[in-house]
Amino acid sequence: MKTRGPLRFVRLGFAIILAAIYIFPLYWVVITSFKTYREAFTLPPIFFKLPDFSSYTTYFAQPDIARYLLNSLIATGVSSVLALTIGVMAAYALARIHIPGGESIAFFLLASRFIPPVSTIIPLFLTLRSLQLFDTLIGLILVYMAMNVPYVVWMMRGFFKDIPIEVEEAAWIDGCSRRGGLIRVVLPMVRPGLAATSVLIAVFAWNDFLNALILTSSQAKTLPLSIAAFLGEGGIEWNSLAAAGTAIMMPAIVFTVLMQRHLAQGLTLGAVKG
């Protein structure tokens, strides 16, 4: 009993240190976004200051920022819905139907994402150009969908396996088809898993920089590419760069917060079995 008190404080202190290590970079980006150009280079650095919104004014004053935002919303939203639709069906098939080599197929899908993205960007560029999809939202949506489907399959397959087959069999006895059992019975039960998966793939697509940089030119540029406006030969405008980063990550943070309840359930679903 005597050792529990000190040990508890040690664990609490360790947790606080870890939290500070993870949170500080985010805090530094946000606080830098409220600095002026001169303050961003001040030594010793300024850790606390009253907000200055001039960096945000500069960022949102870019002429094409609204189009970049719309492109990001469309590319992220459509690709995520398509990836979820295709990935859920594939995951259900691998989880419920005996397919020779099913485990190998699932691992191969996930292993395809182990390949460094930079090694596939040139083939993607040549493919989209030959299909006349370069610098189009359709081309970007297809790339994001292909990028995220393996994650959906791998994650949802585990959630489907946690649902007893007897639940579906009861639905089949009541007259449901296999598709009806999936839609009416199984999907509502794995809703937390769907939420966790949707957050993951949406953030991947929203934050993508490399594919958007190489596979677009002007019409299909997305919001992350607006950061490049503050990287020039004259130097880096760190305050405006931080403002751009803060503005870009806010929609992802809001979406994650809205899905927080389901996200927490999805990340722990299946961790404890009765």
58, 245 Cβ separation under 8 angstroms: no
Q: Could you tell me the pLDDT band of residue 269, with boundaries at 50, 70 and 90?
A: low
pLDDT of 127 reads: 93
Instruction: State phi, psi for 236 to the nearest 5 degrees.
Output: -105, 125
pLDDT of 70 reads: 93
Q: 158 Cβ partners below 8 Å, 6+ apart?
A: 193, 270
Type of residue numbered 26:
L
- What percentage of the chain carries pLDDT values higher than 90? 23
CA torsion through residues 96, 98, 103, 107, sign = negative
60-64, 228-232, 263-267: which range is least confident on average?
263-267
What is the rounded distance in angstroms from the CA atom of residue 237 to the CA atom of residue 234? 9
- What percentage of the chain carries pLDDT values higher than 70? 91
**Cα dihedral: 237, 243, 245, 246 (round 10):** 160
Q: What is the mean pLDDT of residues 176-203?
A: 84
The alpha-helical segments, DSSP class H, found in 163-274 are 165-173, 178-181, 187-189, 191-207, 210-215, 238-258, 260-268
pLDDT, tens digit (0-9, with 9 covering 90-100), for 134-186: 999 999 999 999 999 998 998 888 888 888 888 877 878 877 777 777 888 88
What is the rounded distance in angstroms from the CA atom of residue 32 to the CA atom of residue 113? 34
192, 262 Cβ separation under 8 angstroms: yes
The token pair that represents 152 in the structure block: 């959906």
Three-state DSSP class for residue 236: strand
Three-state DSSP class for residue 235: strand
How far CA 30 is from CA of 24, 33, 247, in Å, comes to 10, 5, 9
Q: Comparing 222 with 42, which gets the higher pLDDT?
A: 222
pLDDT of 1 reads: 46
Q: What is the mean pLDDT of residues 28-49?
A: 83
- Cβ of 117: how many Cβ atoms within 10 Å? 14
Q: What is the mean pLDDT of residues 63-90?
A: 92
pLDDT, tens digit (0-9, with 9 covering 90-100), for 6-27: 778 788 888 899 988 888 888 8
Q: What is the mean pLDDT of residues 178-201?
A: 84
Report the largest interatomic distance among the alpha carbons of the chain, rounded to a whole angstrom: 73
pLDDT beyond 60 at 267: no
Q: What is the mean pLDDT of residues 183-209?
A: 87
Q: What is the mean pLDDT of residues 246-264?
A: 77
User: Does the model's pTM come out above 0.85?
Assistant: no
Three-state DSSP class for residue 78: helix
Domain positions in the chain are 4-56, 62-268
Strand partners for 232: 235
pLDDT of 233 reads: 64
Q: Comparing 99 with 206, which gets the higher pLDDT?
A: 206
142, 86 Cβ separation under 8 angstroms: no
pLDDT of 206 reads: 92
pLDDT beyond 90 at 193: no
pLDDT beyond 70 at 264: no
Burial of 29 (0-12, 13-18, 19+ CB in 10 A): middle
pLDDT beyond 60 at 102: yes
Give the CATH fold of the 62-268 domain: MetI-like fold (1.10.3720)
